[in-house]
A and B are shown apart, each in its own frame.
Chain A
């Protein structure tokens, strides 16, 4: 029983109101921050592993503090499996899973799940489709069959596809308003090119969205959704003995198959510096994205890259945020991150900056991308290592958090004990490691720069920086023409 939450039926709650004696402790020494004792040890949970009768692998972490259960079904297929000319099919298939399944209509299914106080969310990534059931323990038995219906027996009704199609075409239209969506689309495309699956937006294009048929959905589902291409991750207030028969009943009859293979080409690294300016007339800020091809999740220097990026732009005190926000006041926040995927995803440095200092902000970005190549002071290195290592337990506080961490073990083929050594590996990162990965991964002379803003105000200033060839674009060149919906859509 947790010491955190006690049920009244078992224990009287302790709520005490006391007056403090007037005698006061001696005034503390404020001339220096208090000395800290050694950081607490944290042992990440080690999942139990078992397989159902059809070979479906299950990872289970028991967590008994709150009567909640998270069951994630991780299907190893995603937008990289979109067929030629059908970008967005994985995303559409994911969205259509709960639009009617197992003999229930979309409305009946939604009513059944909502009535339980449960939630079934579908997240479509580049390499995975994750179906996430979050439910009170008391509703688990009723909710699990619904999750299985959604995963295994979607009906893909034609009229629901038409509704989803119109909704998504409208979302595409609305992206024309949204500077961040425009920046994301422009950055992905300029960095990876049209041919690479990491360069496309997961939603798809107007043409691809209009092309999807029920047969396409069935084909995608049939190819990738089977017990041989999936993993179940359970975290919550259950025991193996209690959950196993429920999982067997819901998923044990699911047919197997061979795991999906993906044919992701190697992305061409950025070989020179170039600037793309996208015009957003009247914009109060400019959205800046600067980056290059990063690294895969399996990179041997993963921890060193995390520490290096923390120094550059991965925390509030990082150099980018201190410079652009705290020192200059150009922005509400400036950051950087590596998108770790099974194949190298982007490294991105980003901020939204006040329109009239767009060029000045770019100068500071470039200065920080250079400065991270130089020797890092000990204090900054210590701070970044501690920030990454000692903040690690926060990811294991909730059943959803734990299930997400455990799912990564499967998705990225990590060693079963990968989390056990994480804190020590981060704390062992050396200054030489940080310098080496910075020089390998950050090259300010070879980056793609995208700015979405009011070109009338920012273009001349950005050109004067002579960062490289400048290409200007209209929003419609980035996102395509604004979709026109007809009554038939």
Chain B
């Protein structure tokens, strides 16, 4: 049934009908090996353009932080760009740009990733830089570097959260969805006072505990010769000592036995409501069903919530829904902004009705097929770029982190192809229960408050 997309080799222009199970496969051929020090390495050749992407994942995110040091994993990621034993401060970026390269990194609750997109002649430069900060970061560390990036990160928090309309919403949602001891309770960007408290000693400990080769994975995709790339990886990473073993992160219980309601005032014109539930972790049963459910509810003009709230009734300016998938737990959220003159209660009533309707009766075959077709097309898009966030080098590392198999593209897509309407209904019924969720209302401040005082997810580099 989910056989919509047929790849070029099988049919030109005409969508050849294929029976279920005969869909074309999507594959990203690769070579994988492990260095004696424990570093996992993934190599994939794609010579579409003469560039290479070097991508490193460290399997540590804000979930490993300790109380009083929230935001540290991300602050640490900033410090990784400030030089290492054989790379003077500032030269990481200078040398890469001088070679025509670009780079970035990001931190979330589970992991931290870094990439360099470079012309293919500069592969060795990127490997030198990545290996040096993996092996010799602390040789060049100083309290001044920590102070410098502390100020930058505080401004990142101001720019991306505090000074952005509704910018504090996801911080509040995490705090209310998860109990205080859960790794997803606190925000990856961290609290200001914890950023202030972060010290040089914290950097030393964090690098020792989490930045060894055994807790990392190196993926190289692009215009490479696999044997040459392999020799260069051995040359630059081979001498790094194996780090300490990292024990798996515990999975504290998190459940919501009640509806928890939170009201937050912000400098906004229009109120917005967020309804969020705790849902199954990334790639576990229910995860793909909830992705498709988010599309049925709020993907496109014909989706249930968009059509009613935005298109027909025009009581909402926008509505969105998503399954935000992470390693320990996920969150399914529905978010809608009220039009002037309409209340959040009106919006919530429609949300509740539509979710109850899908729980009672499966979506139509066409609704589910439409969603699956969009996911299938999205998988093709993911095969075009080798570098940057979400490029193939990054995706190979992501699948390796999640499943142990870098080329899990087809298995991932198969999760969606296998779904039928009752699967989506079952996910709604099981997970989106009215008695176990967090409802956050972000409402406009009154005029006096606006003039009186300021108010108090993944994070970029």
A binds B: yes
Q: Across the interface, do A398 and B384 meet the contact criterion of CB distance under 8 Å?
A: yes
- Rounded to whole angstroms, the CA-CA distance of A4 and B384 in the bound complex is 9
Shortest distance in angstroms between B297's beta carbon and chain A's nearest beta carbon?
14
Question: Of A19, A24, A176, which is in contact with the most chain B CB atoms at under 10 Å from its CB?
Answer: A24
Q: Across the interface, do A174 and B269 meet the contact criterion of CB distance under 8 Å?
A: yes
Q: A2-B48, A5-B28, A383-B94 in contact; A285/B163 too (CB < 8 A)?
A: yes
Question: Of A7, A173, A487, which is in contact with the most chain B CB atoms at under 10 Å from its CB?
Answer: A7
Q: Which of B29-37, B172-180, B420-428 contacts the other chain?
A: B29-37
Q: Across the interface, do A281 and B451 meet the contact criterion of CB distance under 8 Å?
A: yes
Note all chain B residues with C-beta closer than 8 A to A325.
152, 155
Note all chain B residues with C-beta closer than 8 A to A179.
163
- Rounded to whole angstroms, the CA-CA distance of A396 and B51 in the bound complex is 11
Q: Across the interface, do B8 and A28 meet the contact criterion of CB distance under 8 Å?
A: no
Note all chain B residues with C-beta closer than 8 A to A317.
90, 93-94, 97
Q: Across the interface, do A177 and B121 meet the contact criterion of CB distance under 8 Å?
A: no
B261 at the interface (CB under 8 A from A): no
Q: A24-B234, A30-B132 in contact; A399/B384 too (CB < 8 A)?
A: yes
A178 at the interface (CB under 8 A from B): yes
Q: A42-B50, A139-B15, A354-B158 in contact; A36/B99 too (CB < 8 A)?
A: yes
B437 at the interface (CB under 8 A from A): no
Residues of B86-103 contacting chain A, CB below 8 A: 86-87, 90-91, 93-95, 97-103
Question: Mask for B148-177, Cβ within 8 A of A = 1, else 0?
Answer: 101110111011101111000000000000
Note all chain A residues with C-beta closer than 8 A to B152.
325-326, 329, 331-332
Note all chain B residues with C-beta closer than 8 A to A329.
147-148, 150-152, 154-155
- Rounded to whole angstroms, the CA-CA distance of A66 and B28 in the bound complex is 12
A464 at the interface (CB under 8 A from B): no
Which residue from A30, A139, A353, A484 sits with its C-beta under 8 Å from B340? A484
Q: Which of B207-215, B245-253, B276-284, B299-307 contacts the other chain?
A: B299-307
Q: Which of B196-204, B326-334, B343-351, B372-380 contacts the other chain?
A: B372-380
Which residue from B48, B129, B454 sits with its C-beta under 8 Å from A284? B454
Q: Across the interface, do B49 and A394 meet the contact criterion of CB distance under 8 Å?
A: yes
A382 at the interface (CB under 8 A from B): yes
Note all chain A residues with C-beta closer than 8 A to B128.
28, 30, 33-34
Q: Across the interface, do B270 and A137 meet the contact criterion of CB distance under 8 Å?
A: no
Q: Across the interface, do B90 and A393 meet the contact criterion of CB distance under 8 Å?
A: no
Question: Mask for B364-399, Cβ within 8 A of A = 1, else 0?
Answer: 001001100110111011011111000000000000
Q: Across the interface, do A14 and B30 meet the contact criterion of CB distance under 8 Å?
A: yes
Q: Which of B56-64, B69-77, B235-243 contacts the other chain?
A: B235-243
- Rounded to whole angstroms, the CA-CA distance of A310 and B46 in the bound complex is 29
Shortest distance in angstroms between B1's beta carbon and chain A's nearest beta carbon?
14
Nearest chain-A residue to B460 (Cβ)? A332
Q: Across the interface, do A9 and B24 meet the contact criterion of CB distance under 8 Å?
A: yes
- Rounded to whole angstroms, the CA-CA distance of A48 and B180 in the bound complex is 61
B19 at the interface (CB under 8 A from A): no
Q: Across the interface, do A114 and B300 meet the contact criterion of CB distance under 8 Å?
A: yes
Q: Across the interface, do B377 and A3 meet the contact criterion of CB distance under 8 Å?
A: no
Q: Across the interface, do B49 and A396 meet the contact criterion of CB distance under 8 Å?
A: yes
- Rounded to whole angstroms, the CA-CA distance of A397 and B455 in the bound complex is 44
Q: A20-B34, A282-B454, A383-B94 in contact; A68/B269 too (CB < 8 A)?
A: no
- Rounded to whole angstroms, the CA-CA distance of A16 and B159 in the bound complex is 44
Q: A7-B9, A25-B234 in contact; A176/B269 too (CB < 8 A)?
A: yes
Q: Across the interface, do B238 and A174 meet the contact criterion of CB distance under 8 Å?
A: no
Q: A36-B99, A136-B5, A326-B90 in contact; A24/B239 too (CB < 8 A)?
A: yes
Note all chain A residues with C-beta closer than 8 A to B44.
4
Question: Of B119, B162, B374, which is in contact with the most chain A CB atoms at under 10 Å from its CB?
Answer: B119
Residues of A471-489 contacting chain B, CB below 8 A: 482, 484-485, 487
Question: Mask for A261-296, Cβ within 8 A of B = 1, else 0?
Answer: 000000000000000000001111100000000000
A135 at the interface (CB under 8 A from B): yes
Nearest chain-B residue to A108 (Cβ)? B302
Note all chain A residues with C-beta closer than 8 A to B155.
285, 325, 329-332, 352-354
Q: Across the interface, do A110 and B302 meet the contact criterion of CB distance under 8 Å?
A: yes
Nearest chain-A residue to B148 (Cβ)? A329
Q: Across the interface, do B376 and A117 meet the contact criterion of CB distance under 8 Å?
A: yes
Shortest distance in angstroms between A307's beta carbon and chain B's nearest beta carbon?
12
B138 at the interface (CB under 8 A from A): no
Question: Of B9, B90, B102, which is in contact with the most chain A CB atoms at under 10 Å from its CB?
Answer: B9
A118 at the interface (CB under 8 A from B): yes
A10 at the interface (CB under 8 A from B): yes
Q: Across the interface, do B14 and A36 meet the contact criterion of CB distance under 8 Å?
A: no
B115 at the interface (CB under 8 A from A): no
Q: A16-B31, A177-B267 in contact; A27/B239 too (CB < 8 A)?
A: yes
Question: Mask for B290-327, Cβ within 8 A of A = 1, else 0?
Answer: 00000000011110000100010010010000000000
Residues of B339-366 contacting chain A, CB below 8 A: 339-341, 366
Shortest distance in angstroms between A223's beta carbon and chain B's nearest beta carbon?
28
Q: Across the interface, do A34 and B124 meet the contact criterion of CB distance under 8 Å?
A: yes
Question: Mask for A171-184, Cβ within 8 A of B = 1, else 0?
Answer: 10110111100000
Q: Across the interface, do B15 and A138 meet the contact criterion of CB distance under 8 Å?
A: yes
Note all chain B residues with C-beta closer than 8 A to A20.
33-36, 234
Residues of A292-316 contacting chain B, CB below 8 A: 315-316
Q: Across the interface, do B148 and A326 meet the contact criterion of CB distance under 8 Å?
A: yes
- Rounded to whole angstroms, the CA-CA distance of A482 and B268 in the bound complex is 12
Q: Across the interface, do A39 and B373 meet the contact criterion of CB distance under 8 Å?
A: no
Q: Across the interface, do A387 and B269 meet the contact criterion of CB distance under 8 Å?
A: no
- Rounded to whole angstroms, the CA-CA distance of A448 and B273 in the bound complex is 39
A411 at the interface (CB under 8 A from B): no
A103 at the interface (CB under 8 A from B): no
- Rounded to whole angstroms, the CA-CA distance of A38 and B99 in the bound complex is 10
A67 at the interface (CB under 8 A from B): yes
Which residue from A39, A281, A316, A327 sits with its C-beta under 8 Å from B97? A316
Q: Across the interface, do A16 and B34 meet the contact criterion of CB distance under 8 Å?
A: no
Which residue from B33, B48, B158 sits with its C-beta under 8 Å from A65? B48
Which residue from B48, B147, B317 sits with its C-beta under 8 Å from A174? B317
B117 at the interface (CB under 8 A from A): yes
Shortest distance in angstroms between B92's beta carbon and chain A's nearest beta carbon?
10
Q: Across the interface, do A110 and B301 meet the contact criterion of CB distance under 8 Å?
A: yes
A415 at the interface (CB under 8 A from B): no
Note all chain A residues with C-beta closer than 8 A to B91.
33
A22 at the interface (CB under 8 A from B): yes
Q: A4-B46, A393-B51, A397-B386 in contact; A315/B239 too (CB < 8 A)?
A: no
Q: A9-B9, A33-B95, A67-B380 in contact; A40/B119 too (CB < 8 A)?
A: yes
Question: Mask for A58-79, Cβ within 8 A of B = 1, else 0?
Answer: 0000011111100000000000
Q: Across the interface, do A390 and B119 meet the contact criterion of CB distance under 8 Å?
A: yes
A421 at the interface (CB under 8 A from B): no
B residues neighboring A (CB under 8 Å): 4-15, 24-36, 44-51, 85-87, 90-91, 93-95, 97-103, 117, 119-122, 124-125, 128-129, 132, 136, 147-148, 150-152, 154-156, 158-160, 162-165, 223, 231, 234-236, 238-239, 267-270, 299-302, 307, 311, 314, 317, 339-341, 366, 369-370, 373-374, 376-378, 380-381, 383-387, 405-407, 410, 450-451, 453-455
Known: A167-B317, A316-B97, A387-B97. 10 other contacts (CB 8 A): A3-B47, A4-B48, A30-B136, A65-B46, A110-B302, A117-B5, A281-B450, A285-B158, A352-B155, A454-B454
9 examples of A-B residue contacts, CB within 8 angstroms: A4-B48, A8-B24, A28-B128, A39-B100, A179-B163, A281-B267, A282-B450, A285-B155, A454-B454
Please name the 4 residue pairs, one residue from A and one from B, whose CB atoms are nearest each other, closest first: A390-B100, A329-B151, A4-B46, A117-B377
